[in-house]
Amino acid sequence: MNDFEVEKKFELTELIDLSVVGEVVRSLADMLGIQVRIFDIEGHQIFDSGGEQMFCDLLRTTSIGDRICSEIREKLLSQFLSEGSAVQIQAACGNRYTVFPVRHQFENLGRVVLGPYKDSSMDQSKLEALALKYRIDAPKFLQLHKEMPEVSPDRLKKTARFMSRFFDAFVFINAKRLITSLMHLELIMQSRDKIFQQIEQESGTSPADKKEIERLKNMF
């Protein structure tokens, strides 16, 4: 057994078939009414269920709001995540996010972000103060915040737990398949090398023989 292949570290995109996983995640996102995004370990977004909120678009129209959005994104991508953890992050704009890791062999391969969704603890006075701080029209700010999805903590917790286990199972199964395929390929290559070594030993050493052997090697 080749230790290199058994201990091979995979990228998240190698272990997640987005054409399959994407449909499941998109259905869950539609059911909850919130946006779901997947990021790899480098912070690159590899999946987005869609459903960008107009509230977030409004925030980005001001320099302060745009800075807040950038800070939230940085927090979502840098938040420490351990195995089995789902962390809720409070955004300065009055929204919340839930983020959990996608792991394999005790290491994080990426993360899943649920949200944004409404922070129900934000009353009108707090939202009006935020609108003033971000220099945004208060009535419009309040209206778009009101349209943000609202999910009960219990439902969100259960969904995050289900999705985390779903990703764990999917990653584990695909990792086993890839490792098996790599080991099978390694055995084929070892057999190929032995065959050509035997051919070289049994054949002559003329330039024509060597050229023919190299040609055969290049075919595999």
Q: Which CATH number fits domain 3-177: 1.20.950, 1.10.150, 3.40.50, 3.30.450?
A: 3.30.450
- CA-nearest of 132, 119, 151, 163 to 33 is 151
Task: Starting at the earlier edge strand, list the strands of the sheet with 87-90.
Answer: 45-48, 36-40, 107-118, 95-104, 87-90
Check: CB of residue 34 under 8 Å from CB of residue 51.
Answer: yes
For residue 1, the model assigns a pLDDT of 44
Alpha-helix runs per DSSP H in the chain = 3-6, 12-15, 18-32, 54-59, 63-78, 124-133, 138-146, 153-202, 207-218
For residue 106, the model assigns a pLDDT of 84
pTM score:
0.76
Q: Place 170 in a pLDDT band, splitting at 50, 70 and 90.
A: confident
Indicate if the pLDDT at residue 205 is higher than 70. no
Q: What is the mean pLDDT of residues 73-87?
A: 91
Burial class (CB within 10 angstroms; exposed 0-12, middle 13-18, buried 19+) of 6: exposed
For residue 77, the model assigns a pLDDT of 96
Give me the residue spans of the domains in the chain: 3-177, 178-218
For residue 2, the model assigns a pLDDT of 46
Stronger pLDDT, 68 or 197, i.e. the higher one? 68
Q: Place 190 in a pLDDT band, splitting at 50, 70 and 90.
A: low
Q: What is the mean pLDDT of residues 198-209?
A: 63
Indicate if the pLDDT at residue 30 is higher than 80. yes
For residue 4, the model assigns a pLDDT of 44
**51/66 Cα distance (integer angstroms):** 19
